[in-house]
Each structure stands twice: as C-alpha cells, then as structure tokens.
C-alpha cells in the first residue's frame, strides 16, 4: 500500500513540473517538485525491495527511477513504457518454451539440490537472458547457465544428453570442459553401477523380468553414445543374451520379443530376428509392433511376398497415420 501511495505521489509531483515552469519561469520550484517526485519513486522502490526481497525486476525498477531522475517530465512515460515491457510483454515473450525449461531444470531429483536453489537462480537471470534450447546454451557464453544445464543433462543418460555433453567438452572455457567431462564420467559410472546391481539380481533371483531388466540396461548403454561403436555392439549382444534368457523362462512376453528382435536387427542378425518374429507372430498374430518388425526384416531380406503376409492380420485401429499408410500400401486395404 505504501509503495502505491508513493508511486502515485511521484507521478503527481512529476506531472506538476511542467505547469510550474510555465507559470513562474523559475527553476527552483520545478526542480524541487522533480526532486520530490524522484524521492517518492525511490521510496516506492525501497518498499518494494523490502517486501519482495531481491528479485530480477529490481534492476528494472532502479533503471526506471534513474530515467525519471535524469529526464524530467519526458522520463516518466519512458520509464512507464520500460516497466510495461519488463512486467508484461517481456513475460509473454518468455512464456511457453521458457516455462517448459524452467519446469524442467527446477524439477527436483532424488539426491540432488532442492528445486528452490534452481528457482532462485532462474529468478535472478530470468530478465537478463531469454530461454534458449540446450544446444544454444552449450554453445553460448554464459558459464553459469552452462554449468546448470550440464548438471541437469548428467542426471539422465540418453543419446541426446550425451551428445550435448560431448559438445560441451569442446568449450573454450576450461571450467566447462572439466564440468562436462566429469558429468560424462559420472553418467557412465552410474550406468555401470545399475548394470552390476541388475546382474547380481539376475544371478541370485533369476526371474524372467530380472533378465529383461538387465537386457534393457545393456541396450540403453549401447545406444547412449557413451561407448565406441565396437564396444556398443558387444553390449547389444549382451542384451540379446539376456532377452533370450528371459524368454526361455517365460515365453508369454510380447514386449520382450519386440525388444529382443530390435536388438537382433541392430546387430544385423536378420535371419535370427526373422526366426524370433515368426515364433512371436504365431503367438500374437494381431500384435501390430511384432508384425511391422517382421515386415521390416522381410523387406530388408528381399522377401517381398512375406511383407504382405506379415501385415495382413494387423488392424488399423490404434495405429498412427504413417503406420496406416504402410498397412494400406502393403495389404491394399480400402
């Protein structure tokens, strides 16, 4: 309330400067009114800072007071326009992608610093920089934001994240290169620990799900981009062995058949993939993903007639538009 009263008083005093000058043609009275208006705006700023704490809009308010102080009369509309841009238009321009980024980077993770720490950082820089995609941030110049993005990327191992971290290793700043290298080592160490735990569980308990989980970890490691191509192929072969062990224990796993076949295809073992998919499609003839995988293998092997046989039992319900087009082309469905 006090802030509002002082702001209104400042506006009134500033608006009185021009009439006072034209009425008296004397400098002291207009100057006194202008100084009083500036003091009122400064008081409103101090009250706002005390109420809200240090925020990114404080700098904008301070600039507004300076504009009013150095430019009598004309400074008032200029300051009002600047504040409108910062508090209104600026926020609208930063909404959307920026809000998605803020929710993402401030998402609380187990064992990490609380989301409040990231939110405080974002409040400080929100009006200083606009949102940029991660790749633009990594290639940019703000070291503080780069470090925060690298920390976030290291929390989940994926090919996209690893690619960005490898990009950061080329950064000219030694601090960023060191942080990115550490993040990659940490990510790889976490993956290996997860694999070790899954291996122990599979050896001790040995259920079909245990082997399927182990296979999934092998495959994600192979496809993460952390490994060289030859070593990645080794881990894909480990995934195939684990999937096979899972299916030996329990055949009733259509999704495990899907993942097993995908690994075989990635390794170029198309004949083995076709044998596996033949078996799976006999068990689940209407399973769309299994049928499409079998059609893919047959096409790569030049068995064109088998492509039609693979898809003829698939129903279009639940398929995406691209899959429906493929189905219609190969089955001549109306």
Taking only the tens place, the pLDDT of each residue in 108-133 is 444 444 444 444 444 443 333 333 45
What is residue 69's predicted lDDT score, i.e. its pLDDT?
61
**What is the residue whose two structure tokens read 């971290």?**
165
DSSP 298: H
Domains of the chain: which residue ranges? 2-94, 112-186, 201-331
Instruction: Tell me which fold the domain 201-331 belongs to.
Output: 1.25.40
Taking only the tens place, the pLDDT of each residue in 14-62 is 667 667 656 666 667 766 666 676 776 666 666 665 555 444 455 556 6
Distance of CA 17 to the CA centre of its chain: 52
Backbone angles phi, psi at 48, to 5 degrees: -65, -40
Share in percent of the chain as helix, strand, coil (round to 5): 75, 0, 25
Q: How many residues are present in the chain?
A: 334
User: 258: helix, coil or strand?
Assistant: helix
d(CA 123, CA 36): 32
Residue bearing the bigger pLDDT, 196 or 105: 196
DSSP 228: -
| Banded pLDDT at 177 (limits 50, 70, 90) | confident
Nearest to 271 by CA among 248, 253, 294: 294
d(CA 218, CA 272): 19
**Whole-model pTM above 0.85?**
no
Cβ neighbours around 318 below 10 Å, total: 9
What is residue 313's predicted lDDT score, i.e. its pLDDT?
84
């Amino acid at each position: 309330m006090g802030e509002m009263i002082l702001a209104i008083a400042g506006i009134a005093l500033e608006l009185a400067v021009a009439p006072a000058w034209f009425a008296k043609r004397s400098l002291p009275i207009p100057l006194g009114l202008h100084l009083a208006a500036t003091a009122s705006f400064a008081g409103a700023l101090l009250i706002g800072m005390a109420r809200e704490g240090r925020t990114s809009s404080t700098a904008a308010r301070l600039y507004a007071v300076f504009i009013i102080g150095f430019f009598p009369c004309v400074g008032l509309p200029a300051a009002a326009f600047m504040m409108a841009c910062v508090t209104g238009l600026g926020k609208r321009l930063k909404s959307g992608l920026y809000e998605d980024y803020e929710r993402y980077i401030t998402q609380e993770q187990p064992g990490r610093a609380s989301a409040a720490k990231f939110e405080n950082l974002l409040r400080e820089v929100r009006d200083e920089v606009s949102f940029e995609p991660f790749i633009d941030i990594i290639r940019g110049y703000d070291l503080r934001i780069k470090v925060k993005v690298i920390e976030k990327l290291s929390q989940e191992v994926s090919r996209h994240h690893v690619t960005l971290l490898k990009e950061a290793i080329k950064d000219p700043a030694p601090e960023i290169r060191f942080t990115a290298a550490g993040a990659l080592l940490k990510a790889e160490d976490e993956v290996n620990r997860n694999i070790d735990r899954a291996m122990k569980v599979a050896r001790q308990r040995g259920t079909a799900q245990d082997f399927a989980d182990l296979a999934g970890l092998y495959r994600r490691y192979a496809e993460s981009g952390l490994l060289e191509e030859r070593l990645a192929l080794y881990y894909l072969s480990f995934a195939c062995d684990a999937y096979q062990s899972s299916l030996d224990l329990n055949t009733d796993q259509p999704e495990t058949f899907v993942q097993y076949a995908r690994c075989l295809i990635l390794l170029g073992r198309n004949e083995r993939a076709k044998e596996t998919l033949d078996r799976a499609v006999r068990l689940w003839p209407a399973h769309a993903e299994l049928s499409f995988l079998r059609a893919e293998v047959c096409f790569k092997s030049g068995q064109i007639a088998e492509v039609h046989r693979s898809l003829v039992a698939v129903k279009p319900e639940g398929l995406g538009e691209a899959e429906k087009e493929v189905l219609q082309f190969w089955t001549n469905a109306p």
